[in-house]
Amino acid sequence: MQLNETPELTPPVVETRQTGLTHREILEVLVGLLAALFTAILSSTIVSNALPTIIADLDGSQTQYTWVITASLLAMTVSTPIWGKLSDLFNKKLLVQVSIVIFVIGSVLAGLSRNVPELIGMRVLQGIAMGGLTANAQSIIGSIIPPRERGRYSGYMGATMAMATVSGPLLGGVIVDTPGLGWRWTFFVCVPLALISLVILQKYLHIETVKRSVRIDYFGALFIGIAASLPLLWVSFAGHDFDWVSVESALFLIGTLIAVLLAIRTESRHPEPMVPLKIIRTRTTALAILGSVAVGIAMFGGSVFLGQYFQIAGGHTPTEAGLLGIPLMIGSLIGTTGAGNLISRYGKWKRFLVLGSALLVLGLGLLGTIDHTTPVWHVMVFMLFMGVGMGMLLQNYVLAVQNTVDSTQVGAASASVAFFRSLGGAVGVSVLGAILAHQVTSETTSGLAKLGLSASAGGSSLDIGSLPAPVAEVVRHAYGDATGTIFLVAAGVAVLSLVASLLMKEVPLRTTVRKDDEIAEVSLDEATI
């Protein structure tokens, strides 16, 4: 290459290096992002150990119990790709701040709810904000940090998400058991940290807005929302309000299929699709999406049903149930921070996805063996394996995808993976909850029949304290045995993550934010030589 070609390549390289943030500047931005993300994820799990108290206080039903959690996950699932696309079109700083404001409003109103429908509505508002925070936080990180260095910072993000996910039940239990607080403070407690993050981001986050012509994909958003919502509604009502094999079930499935086909048609034709099919059709992204579904089921399903297992099957208080979940938190922290730092050091990511998937399958498989007689320390060890595997996968699937796209598409790419991860969580909670409810009802009815009692003698299976001792024992046994079943199902789904990670082709992590910059750097080096 001739030396006179060098100046043509110099400007973009110099500009990239000059506009790159220092480690301290990145950490200043991350503090604000992670504070907001922590409160958002925390809000999805903090109610887990408080739900029996909440439902009893508001006179709710078992179906409403599930929907208090599912509503926020569903709203987050549907809104995540929308927020992700908006982050590629508008100012990311403004979008993440809007998400925080919506979250604060939703949290305050949820704490003031007078009945379960009101609470579910406010959880939907929280879920919309959670989708914005998740998508925009990942998009901002993808826009300011090169993939090679992103592993370390993604590790911080993964650790924050994992810690919020598994510490939520503990904090919720403590709040419920603390005199003078009560379950409403499980929503109010998230507000101060969210406001602090708003101030930090206003001061330290400075990100360029790329001016582009905007055409919002309204119909794509509508069809994606319908396609994600109908299966969850079907799983929630089938077997209870109507039979699994029935006209109603057929209508739900046909409606889902039509919505999916319309979404694909819309996304393939729209110039600014919410979920770019060009991106998700690539091998790396498609496999990452498949693996992320399993991670979502483990992340959300695990935290929800383990807390219920400890309280109902084990007879522990909400606070004790939260403390028993600490191994899951420790494992997640080890997995996400350890893998993140090693990926940044060596630039290799596939081995960590494979190992994390194997540990996730192992942990869930071992949890699939538990019943009402399993020693607590056994369950805690199994949770540790699950936590390490979950932590190694949480952000690294996103990292693998981000490495394949330019910074102008990183929002949509990251949000696509997050979309299917949260969809996996929402579907997982609904499906596993349905399996749990069916088996609990069956085993409770059978156990009460042996005592010469009718099924109605069990009353509300969640209100163990009000039941006669023999009946309470039957209900505890039913919940303990059913919990093992749902984790066995989750382990089978987690095998998808192992297969996906093995099939992924490892591409070395680039050291620039934009793909074009890396090409320019290589060309410049050749010219200099």
- How far, CA to CA in Å, does 299 sit from each of 277, 383, 391? 26, 11, 9
Asked whether the beta carbons of 71 and 120 are under 8 A apart, the reply is: yes
- The DSSP string of 138-170 is HHHHHHHS-HHHHHHHHHHHHHHHHHHHHHHHH
* CA 392 – CA 330 distance, rounded (Å): 12
Give the residue from 196, 40, 237, 228 showing the smallest Cα distance to 125. 40
- How far, CA to CA in Å, does 329 sit from each of 347, 356, 408? 26, 15, 34
* CA 3 – CA 143 distance, rounded (Å): 32
CA 114 to chain centre: 28
Give the residue from 26, 35, 32, 278 showing the smallest Cα distance to 142. 26
Asked whether the beta carbons of 409 and 282 are under 8 A apart, the reply is: no
The token pair that represents 66 in the structure block: 């599930």
Judge residue 351's burial from the number of C-beta atoms within 10 Å of its C-beta, 0-12 exposed, 13-18 middle, 19 or more buried: middle
Return left, alpha or beta for 504; rule: phi > 0 is left, psi -120 to 50 is alpha, else beta: beta
Tens digit of each residue's pLDDT, the chain (529 residues): 444 443 433 333 333 333 456 777 777 777 777 887 788 777 777 777 777 778 778 877 666 777 787 788 778 877 877 777 777 777 777 888 888 899 889 989 988 888 888 898 898 898 888 888 877 776 777 677 766 566 666 667 767 776 776 677 778 888 888 887 888 888 888 888 888 888 887 877 776 665 555 567 778 878 887 887 788 778 767 767 778 788 888 999 999 999 989 988 988 888 777 777 777 777 777 888 888 877 777 767 666 788 778 877 777 777 787 788 788 878 887 887 787 777 777 777 788 888 988 999 999 999 989 888 888 889 899 989 988 888 888 777 777 777 666 655 666 666 677 777 777 777 777 778 778 877 887 888 887 787 777 655 555 555 666 677 787 788 888 888 888 888 888 888 888 888 888 888 777 665 554 554 444 443 433 333 3
pTM of structure: 0.70
